Amino acid sequence: MPETLWLSEGGEEIQKLVKRVASARRVVVVTGAGISVNCGIPDFRSSSGLFKQIQASHGDVVSKGRDLFDASVVFRTAQATRIFYEWMTHLREQCERAQPGVVHAFIRQLADRGQLQRSYTQNIDGLERKAGLEVWDPHCPTTSPECVPWQQAQSIPLHGTMDRLTCQLCSSSDTYNAVAGDSCSDCMSRSQQREQLGRRALATGTLRPAVVLYGEPHPHSEDIARIIGHDTRALQGRKRATHDVLLVLGTTLKVPGCKQLVRQLAAAPTTTTIVVNNEHVCGRVWDNIVDYQIIGCVDDWCSRVQRVWAAQTKITQWTRVRKTLPANCSAKGQKVTGERRSTTKKENVNYVVDETVESQTRKVDHVVVEIVQSQKRRAQDNDSIECTQPEPKRRRAELPMRRSARIAMRESIELYHQSLSICT
C-alpha cells in the first residue's frame, strides 16, 4: 500500500515531501470537489454533500442522490428533468458567488513559477478561470480571441463547466445567459426559416448545462485523450536526474476516468505521486502507483508549500544584498540597512530579513565589516607600495579581501538556513 502520512502530525517525512513539491521540475495537478468546499461549494459524496441533500429533498423521485446526475435517470421523466434543471441552476448561482481558494491560488502560483505542466480538474465550478489560469474550452470558437488552444491551456476541465449551455439536439453551445430547460435558439431559427419557405417545421432541442453526466459518452473524449497523451510523454521523456510530481488533491478517486488518468500519468519512472485528501482513499489497488498518501486538509498542504517558496524568495533577496555589502560599508564600520544599491545590476533591493534570523544577521554583519576594515587598514599602511604597483598587481592584492567576504557571505547563508529549519 502507499505510505500513509498524517499532515497534522507533521514530521521530517512531511517536510521532505513539501520541499520536493516546492522544488519539482514539473508538476501535474489533478483536483476534485474537495478543493472548492472552503469556497462555499458543496462536494458530492460527503455526509453534507449534494448527493445527501438531493436524496433528502427528492427521495420520492430518485432512490439516491447520485441518480440526479445519471443520464439514464434524469431524462427518463419530465419530473426528474425539471428537478435536475432546478438543482443545476442553484449550483450555478453558488458557483457565481464563490471565489477561488487556497488551492486555486497555489495552482496559479505553480503556473507563474513555470512549474505547472497541466492542471486537470473534475470540478464544474469554473474557479480556475477566476484564479487567472488559462482554461481550455472546447465549445469556444477557434476564431474567438478568448479561445485558448490546448497546447497553451493550463487547466483542463474533465467533466465540462457550468459556464455554458448546450443543445441536446444540435449540440450548439451558448453562454449561461439563457435558462437551463429553455428551447435552443438555433433550432428555433432554423425551423422558422423552413416554415417561411413553406416547409415543415423542425424539432427544437432543449438547453442543458455543458457538463458530463454519469452513463453518457464524453463529447470531447478524443481531445482530452490527446492532451493526456502529450503530458504523459512529456513526463516519461525527462531525464532521471530531474524529478516531477503528480499531485492529486481533494478527490476520492472513485470516478473511472479519473482513476485511469492518475494511473497513466503516474507511470513515468521519475514522477512522485502524492495524494492529499481529508480521508483515506488509497488501498492496495494503488500499490506501485501512488507513492504517498497524506491525510489532512488540502489548503494546509498547499500553504506549507507556499511558505517554502516564500522562504526561498527571501534567501534569494538576502544573498543578493550580501553580495553588495563590502562595497557599501563605510570606513567607520557602519553597516548599511534598508535599501541598498547593487553594483552589478544597478537596482535597488529591499533588505528584508525575518525577525528569527535578525540576531544572526547582526553577527555576520559585524564579521564582514571587521574584515573590510582590517583590509583597508592594511592598504593604508602600504600606501607607498600600492602607488607603485601596476594595476594588475593591485587587483591581486584585493583578492584576499574579496575571498574573505565570500566566505562570510556563505556562512551567513548557512546560518539563515538553520534559522529557517528551526522556524518550520
Name residue 126's beta-bridge partners: none
Phi then psi dihedrals of residue 120, to 5 deg: -105, 125
3-state DSSP assignment of residue 342? coil
Report whether 290 contacts 254 (CB < 8 A): no
All 3 cell numbers of residue 176? 449561461
Q: Could you give the CA distance from residue 397 to residue 395 in angstroms, rounded to a whole number?
A: 5
- Residue of 90, 159, 366, 417 marked active site: 159
Whether 159 is catalytic is yes
Under DSSP, is residue 209 helix (H, G, I), strand (E, B) or coil? Answer: strand
DSSP string, 29-75: EEE-GGGSGGGT---SSSTTSHHHHHHHH-TTT-SSGGGGGBHHHHT
Could you count the other beta carbons within 10 Å of the beta carbon of residue 329? 20
CA distance 411 to 363: 11
Q: Determine contact, residues 274/4, Cβ cutoff 8 Å.
A: no
Grid coordinates representing 23 are 522544488
Strand partners, 348: 341
Sequence letter at residue 240: R
In the sheet that holds 292-295, the strands lie side by side as: 3-6, 292-295, 271-277, 244-249, 27-31, 116-121, 155-157
Question: How far apart, in whole angstroms, are the C-alpha atoms of residue 147 and residue 161?
Answer: 15
Cα separation, 249 vs 4, whole angstroms: 15
Question: What backbone torsions phi and psi does residue 183 show, to the nearest 5 degrees?
Answer: -75, 150
* Residues 6+ away with beta carbon under 8 Å from 126: 95, 135, 157, 161, 162, 163
Kindly report the length of the chain.
424
d(CA 137, CA 163): 10
- Residues in CB range of 50: below 8 A, 6 or more apart: 42, 43, 44, 65, 87, 91
Q: Which residues are catalytic?
A: 159
